[in-house]
Structure 1
Amino acid sequence: MSLVTPAPPVDVSGFDAAIERLSTGAKAWAAMSLGERGELIARTHDSVARVAERWTRTALDIKGLDPKSALAGEEWLSGPYATLAGFGTVAHSLATLAGGVSPIGSITPKKAPGGRLAWRVLPLDSREALLFHGFSAEVWTLPGVSEADVRTDSGADASRTGVSGGVGLVLGAGNITSIGPLDVLTELVVHHRATILKINPTFANLLTVYRHALAPLIEADLLRVVQGGATEGAYLCNHDGISHVHITGSVETHDAIVWGRGKDSATRRREGRPVLNKPITSELGGVSPVIVVPGEWTPADLRFQAENIVSMRLHNAGHNCCAAQMIVIDAAWPQREEFVRELRAALTRVPSRAPWYPGSDQRLKDAARAHSGAETFSDGDRLLIQVQPDEVCPLMRTEYFAPVLGLVELDGGGARGLLDRAIEYVNHELAGTLSANILIAPAERRNLGAAFDEAVSRLDYGGIAINTWTGLAFLAPTATWGAFPGHTLDDAQSGIGIVHNALLMAHSERTVVTGPFRPFPRSVLNGEMALFPKPPWFVTARSAASTGRKLSGYASGPSWAKLPSIFASAFRA
């Protein structure tokens, strides 16, 4: 059972003084040199490292997890590790800029379809190449933007001095503990805004932890961490001293902030009269697909990839904005029935874990009620729902934020046909553009050749994962994170703007992460040359807690000496 403590009432009058102090802090940030900014971010990184253990234990208490459980690895990775990696990389980027060198200076891009450039941002050095062996990440820049323009403009915003962005409001997410601190980092470094971080009521018990972890920013009057619910959020959103709002949450919450609630909100939206009188950026989730490209898979491949998909859904008990929700397969795939059987087995095999996020039980009931034939697993805590290709149903338009998986079979007739049909389907039938996943065996990818990259370019998603999960794009600090560009206030879908991007890349369109189709040692036996075993974000990774803790230790101070113990733990997964 979740141990979330309801947030006590907050006196909003204290917010006025906080905003005034932050306004002064933003001006002080504007006066700092790049070197001074980098040193401040580095001190904050060290401060986070000192409370990493307490941070993780508090998150485990909130989510009702046993600290000795392998699932504790989720909290190490998505909390302290992601935060440490982000702050550490940004500190290095600022120091690099202070020395007159671009953070992307060592990267040579390659051509990508449609006049794009693909910039490999993971791995960046030999330590990363070994630590993430078999995994990579590329940031694809916008069509038609030249290499020279990307190089000139990358880091330019962060390099500006003498400019204050005022005070921003970050409405923090209530599911992943690193989201709020990393959003604050983006606000400060890229947009020169001091920040009030209002944490979600689910994370009320983290208030003191955040204040200790981010103490250098607080002491510099660049951050205040507060708590409260909708009342406090509304007060801050409409405060004259707030110049910008950033939210991680649902599109419904975004629209309520922008257009208001009640019967007049539709009229205001239609007439373009938002109630919010300042800019807003957002990350709003969506219905994330997994496209399964048909091929000749071994029984071990079928089992591993079914477990891969189930992990994409059940990580954090299903409460992730990039959690897999709709599986797309080829109706004519000879192994279709065997694959679905393995999917059901994985949903049954993974140990039971009750959803902890508020409202999850009701969303599960709503999903079961809205879709006839929904299959239940783990005493009703997981659902598998098969829908028809021409069906329009809530599963396609609703981010359930709970352990709900959909399955649709399209008439693909092979790898190329399935990709074409699936891309058309997910681009136009599913809500949101945050994340999409593709599973494809190496032989099929080789056979498709350049047509595969061209297919990837037609996916209108800000994060795309090939044979891995888009959660890796979230974890990798050098990657960008956010919806596909082009959304508007009246059609926000998965949001507006990007975060993370610790290399300060300009003109980004999407991040594409790639992993091995098979884990070690089967990867090497099949010619993939990937030395990574079962990834630590798999919900079945037995050593995930140890690996997550050690990776957090590595992110607090990367060194060759820390790698052997990480590998020893990872290979026990």
Structure 2
Amino acid sequence: MPKAAPETSVKSRATTAPSLSDDERAALDRAIGDLQRGARTWAQLTLDQRARLLDSLHATVSAVAEEWADVAATSKQLEPGHPLRGEEWLSGPYGTLTAFDAYRSTLRTLARGTSPLAGVKTDAAPGGRVRAHVFPLSAVDGLLLSGYTGEIWFEPGVTADEARRTAGLAQLTPTHSGGVGLVLGAGNVTSIPVLDVMYELLAHNRVAILKVNPTQDALVPVFERALAPLIEPGFLRIVRGGGDVGAYLTGHPGIAHVHITGASATFDAIVWGPQSGPGAGASTRRRRENRPQLKKPITAELGGVSPIIVVPGRWSDADLRFQAEHIATMRLQNSGHNCIAGQVVLIGAEWPQREAFLAALRAAYEAAPRRPVWYPHSDARLEAAASGYPDAAWCADGTRAIVDIAPGDDPTALETTEYFAPVLGVLSLPGNGQEFLDAAVAHANDKLAGTLGANLLIDPETQAALGDGFERAIAELRYGTVSINSWTAFGFLTATLTWGGFPGATLQNVESGIGVVHNALLLDRVERSVTRGPFRPFPRSLDPRALAASKGRSFSVLPKPPWFVSSRTGTAVSEGFTRFRMNGDYAKLVGTLVQAFRA
């Protein structure tokens, strides 16, 4: 019989939260008690049974996918017919379904006694690292996302044999229970709470109580139906509430572990205590003396200031426009309310095409469809940007800003404040070629807050000219996801990649968080994920010089990606891709691909 976490008695309840009623506390206690029983049940399931549970989840998510996307879009004030409603298909049910499918494949592979890395290509990465080429792993992925690839880079010293042997994490010891975990759900992207729950369950054998962020309260009925196969046997409970509920649960003795996706200030308040007000002094002392008030382990994903490094090259006018739209997407998707939104463009001061590119960027930023700035407190962040940078260029009726840092201006606020709103900075650095790239990498590492994700744009000819120096520069970037000619959101949505800050964060200096999520192959000792995409979409990806320079790796049959804010058919294609993941109907997929070529 597996060992389970002790059940919580009335006498061992967490410290009372004065703002909660006795009935509210009792309901939370009952939920944790249900989960403690569910943890024992989970530990008795075979890997095949867990895989079949993923089959059921695929069906229940598919049944509510349309409602999920509609409720999410409506809650973000995107009315029916708005051209950006497709975002909610991709970042909600699509990301969830692809993750469930990938986890199911991993469980079935492990059930056969085979490593999830069996058959996956591995080779050497710079700095004595091993990397695994984990995307695409199927012909379907290669078709839908032509030209995009994903790699896992392991920590230096990890061998390919070790990576294969340890792949599976807690599913290598499925009868060992991790107890009950608390997931404090994100409020900006609707798949995050669900994917965090699944990682608790599969990477750690922990059942979970999910406290939904109040911004997603409208989705709770959808989540309850989508996740019914986890709720009914006691593997999941979903609760609503604000900080008082979160405080009660984090201190509850029945909770073995806490995971949060959110802001570093919230993390610090959980770990050390209030950061302002009457309790701030005690919090400061605890931190100084390294005596956290939280007496259980915690993992976190906390965002940061993401760089977009634009390596100087010889770009066509079409290249300038496409990559300007790419950057506008990185900043404006979800109205900038993303932990992975690109915030600071690092550009060559001596690049002859600098001004032409910035003109294209301003045009793309202005032309992107208008949408509300909906996340709580975003107006205050925009006001702070306006106050700190009075010369900023405001676009789209004054709802989004570009701050071009002039010589002598202070970039500190842009470099250290995650605005979580449509504020985009531009900072010029000296040099060209390798000199610029090395300076940009050093600037991103040393000046920008956080370590979550870095983006880099480079044409195939320039990359070929840099040779090994380019890959060495990528290895020097201290970020959990590095995206080359793609956006780190692609890493977030690719289930076989990891998502989280660069290793090395601590409770004292949490950076962009501790630990990773997603990671559907359940790999251990991962340092980073690296994604690569086509610099040019189809048909310009057929350029013979680029193909020769990249040895064919720059080829793609994908036109403008559906997640671009400038895509004319993004909603139709995003919905079509999701429905294909739901039903596998190739005939209807053909129609979706036709729509993709009209983007």
Q: Normalising TM by the smaller chain, what interval?
A: over 0.9
Identity over aligned pairs, percent: 49
Name the structure 2 match of 1:384. Answer: 402
Name the structure 2 match of 1:238. Answer: 251
Equivalent residue letter for 1:300: A
How far 1:213 sits from its partner (Å)? 0.3
- The CA distance in 1 between the partners of 2:228 and 2:101, in whole Å, is 16
How far 1:560 sits from its partner (Å)? 4.5
Partner of 2:524, secondary structure, is coil
Residue 181 (1) aligns with residue 200 (2): no
**CA deviations over 1:302-334 (Å, ceiling 9, x no partner):** 111111001000000000000000000010001
Name the structure 1 match of 2:123. Answer: 110
Name the structure 1 match of 2:138. Answer: 125
- The CA distance in 2 between the partners of 1:375 and 1:141, in whole Å, is 42
- The CA distance in 2 between the partners of 1:566 and 1:61, in whole Å, is 24
Name the structure 2 match of 1:566. Answer: 592
Give the total of aligned pairs: 565
Name the structure 1 match of 2:285. Answer: 267
- The CA distance in 1 between the partners of 2:471 and 2:356, in whole Å, is 28
Partner of 2:513, secondary structure, is coil
Name the structure 1 match of 2:424. Answer: 405
Residue 532 (1) aligns with residue 558 (2): yes
Name the structure 1 match of 2:86. Answer: 73
- The CA distance in 2 between the partners of 1:457 and 1:476, in whole Å, is 21
**CA deviations over 1:346-381 (Å, ceiling 9, x no partner):** 111112212111111111001111224222111221
How far 1:12 sits from its partner (Å)? 3.2
1:273-288 pair list within 5 angstroms: 273-288=291-306
Change (3 A) 1:303 1:88: same
Name the structure 1 match of 2:214. Answer: 201
How far 1:540 sits from its partner (Å)? 0.9
Aligned partner (choices 402, 409, 412) of residue 393 of structure 1: 412
**CA deviations over 1:35-72 (Å, ceiling 9, x no partner):** 11111122112111110011111101100112322211
How far 1:99 sits from its partner (Å)? 1.2
Name the structure 2 match of 1:5. Answer: none
Name the structure 1 match of 2:486. Answer: 468
Kept in 1, the 8 Å contact 2:169–2:523? The answer is no
Kept in 2, the 8 Å contact 1:331–1:409? The answer is yes
**CA deviations over 1:431-451 (Å, ceiling 9, x no partner):** 000000000000000101111
Residue 100 (1) aligns with residue 113 (2): yes
Aligned partner (choices 378, 391, 396) of residue 360 of structure 1: 378
Kept in 2, the 8 Å contact 1:289–1:328? The answer is yes
Name the structure 2 match of 1:32. Answer: 45
- The CA distance in 2 between the partners of 1:246 and 1:389, in whole Å, is 42
- The CA distance in 2 between the partners of 1:244 and 1:197, in whole Å, is 12
Equivalent residue letter for 2:566: T
- The CA distance in 2 between the partners of 1:64 and 1:316, in whole Å, is 11
Kept in 1, the 8 Å contact 2:394–2:402? The answer is yes
How far 1:529 sits from its partner (Å)? 2.2
Residue 250 (1) aligns with residue 263 (2): yes
**CA deviations over 1:66-90 (Å, ceiling 9, x no partner):** 2322211100000000011111110
- The CA distance in 2 between the partners of 1:95 and 1:562, in whole Å, is 28
Change (3 A) 1:562 1:463: farther
Equivalent residue letter for 2:413: P
**CA deviations over 1:505-563 (Å, ceiling 9, x no partner):** 22211111111111111111353421111111101111111111111112224465454
Aligned partner (choices 510, 513, 516) of residue 531 of structure 2: 513
Name the structure 1 match of 2:578. Answer: 552
Equivalent residue letter for 2:264: V
Give the stretch that moved more between structures: 243-252 or 541-550.
541-550
- The CA distance in 2 between the partners of 1:353 and 1:549, in whole Å, is 20
Equivalent residue letter for 2:498: T
1:419-430 pair list within 5 angstroms: 419-430=437-448
Kept in 2, the 8 Å contact 1:477–1:500? The answer is yes
**CA deviations over 1:105-164 (Å, ceiling 9, x no partner):** 111211100011121111112222222111111111111110000000011422212211
Residue 149 (1) aligns with residue 162 (2): yes
Kept in 2, the 8 Å contact 1:389–1:410? The answer is no
Equivalent residue letter for 2:314: E
Aligned partner (choices 432, 437, 448) of residue 455 of structure 2: 437
- The CA distance in 1 between the partners of 2:79 and 2:541, in whole Å, is 33
Give the stretch that moved more between structures: 383-392 or 172-181.
383-392
Change (3 A) 1:572 1:392: closer
Equivalent residue letter for 1:55: W
- The CA distance in 2 between the partners of 1:405 and 1:264, in whole Å, is 37
Change (3 A) 1:393 1:364: same
Q: TM-score, normalised by structure 1?
A: 0.96
Kept in 1, the 8 Å contact 2:77–2:372? The answer is no
1:212-361 pair list within 5 angstroms: 212-261=225-274, 262-361=280-379
Give the stretch that moved more between structures: 439-448 or 127-136.
127-136
Give the stretch that moved more between structures: 225-234 or 548-557.
548-557
How far 1:175 sits from its partner (Å)? 0.4
Partner of 2:581, secondary structure, is helix
Equivalent residue letter for 1:502: A
* Structure 2, unaligned runs of 5 or more: 1-19, 275-279, 548-553
Equivalent residue letter for 2:512: S
Name the structure 2 match of 1:171. Answer: 184
Residue 210 (1) aligns with residue 223 (2): yes
Aligned partner (choices 520, 525, 543) of residue 502 of structure 1: 520
Kept in 1, the 8 Å contact 2:169–2:204? The answer is no
1:444-483 pair list within 5 angstroms: 444-483=462-501
How far 1:165 sits from its partner (Å)? 0.7
Name the structure 2 match of 1:3. Answer: none
Kept in 1, the 8 Å contact 2:501–2:512? The answer is yes
- The CA distance in 2 between the partners of 1:467 and 1:245, in whole Å, is 35
Kept in 1, the 8 Å contact 2:188–2:375? The answer is yes
Give the stretch that moved more between structures: 10-19 or 398-407.
10-19
- The CA distance in 1 between the partners of 2:298 and 2:451, in whole Å, is 18
Kept in 1, the 8 Å contact 2:497–2:529? The answer is yes
Kept in 1, the 8 Å contact 2:83–2:369? The answer is no
